[in-house]
Structure 1
Amino acid sequence: MQKMDDKLAFAARLRQALKRSPKKIETAADLAVQFSLRHSGTAISTQSAHKWLTGRSRPTPDKLKTLSTWLNVSPSWLLYGTPDRPKAAIRLQEPVPITPTPEELQIIEKIRSLPESRRLLVQEIIEICQLDPEVWRDK
């Protein structure tokens, strides 16, 4: 049986992937319709989509594959939060000292001048963008 934390984490990743989707999905009904248009098997109900979005259940493997293809993410990331790449490819590297360009220094100053809530928003955007090479598939 799946732990509730696993289901909630899946729901959070699903919502994140949906936000990144070109077709904006705002409700469980939207998700059910758009998913069912793409899935070759049985359509899902609004209730099933709602359960996915709220962390009450996770999709079956065939539905997970459809979701990951549609949302352009790896199935392992969507389900477990891990990038879909071989472990041998992961290497620890020494950090390389970075000298900021004048443009980067200007950006840093602008970020520092923002109120804390906006700085946190910028940080979240940067973290999402950093996931791209690890999680989001290239088109």
Structure 2
Amino acid sequence: MNEKTEFAQRLRKAMLAAGYPDRPAVLEREFNSRYWGRSVTFQAVSRWLGGKSIPSQDKLQVIAQWLKVEPQALRFGDQAVSAIREQRAKWQDPGFYQEREAIDAFLALPVEQRKVVREVIMAFARAGEVDEPSGKDGRKTR
């Protein structure tokens, strides 16, 4: 299944969960009543529901707000949202406090100093790659 088809399934499911029939006429009416930009056509929303296209990000935001779902979940699925939450949870771990503090300090530096620090970090990263043992095919093992 491709991403457009998967998006269409998520959109239909979200419409039904919000109490709306998953029909193009309903989507067109509800979307256009909330969107401040140029109205979308029946054909455009039919393509969204039919798995032929995916709306642009600004339109996706309006749909998500209307249907009370996260835009990321609507666009990419619940698995993507879960992966983002996991990464955020790791970052919020108190064990990373010193790293977060160092990154905040880095971001507060002037551009030229950030460039120097970035080059030092990249040099350490490259040196670390050289020290790692390689597999039979010459690729690094992790």
- The answer, yes or no, to whether TM exceeds 0.5 is yes
Partner of 1:20: 17
Consecutive unaligned residues in structure 1, runs of 5 or more: 91-139
Q: CA deviation at 1:65?
A: 0.5
Q: Which has the larger radius of gyration?
A: 2
Q: Which 4+ residue blocks in structure 1 deviate beyond 6 angstroms?
A: none
Q: Percent identity?
A: 34
For 1:52 and 1:89, locate their aligned partners in 2 and report how far apart those are by CA, in whole Å.
33
Normalising by the residue count of structure 1, what TM-score does the alignment of the two structures yield? 0.57
**Secondary structure of 2:37's partner?**
coil
Residue 25 (structure 1) shift:
2.8
Question: Helix, strand or coil for the counterpart of 1:73?
Answer: coil
Query: For the Cα contact (< 8 Å) 2:73–2:81, is it kept in 1?
Result: yes
1:57 aligns to what? 53
Provide the residue aligned with 2:71 in structure 1.
Answer: 75
Partner of 2:6: 9
The 1-side partners of 2:44 and 2:3 are apart by 17
Gaps of 5+ in 2: 91-142
Count of residue pairs brought into register by the alignment: 86
The residue identity in structure 2 corresponding to 1:12 is Q
Q: CA deviation at 1:89?
A: 2.1
Q: Once the two structures are superposed, what CA deviation does each residue of 1:75-110 show, in whole Å capped at 9, x if it has no partner? A: 1111110227532327xxxxxxxxxxxxxxxxxxxx
Residues 1:36 and 1:54: Cα distance change in structure 2 (over 3 Å): same
Pick the structure with more helix per residue.
2
> Does structure 1 retain, via aligned residues, the 8 Å contact 2:12–2:22?
no
- CA RMSD of the aligned region, Å? 1.7
Where 2:81 maps in the other structure, the secondary structure is coil
1:1-139 to structure 2, matched below 5 A, reads 5-22=2-19, 24-81=20-77, 82-83=80-81, 85-86=84-85, 87-89=87-89
Secondary structure in structure 2 of the residue aligned to 1:34? helix
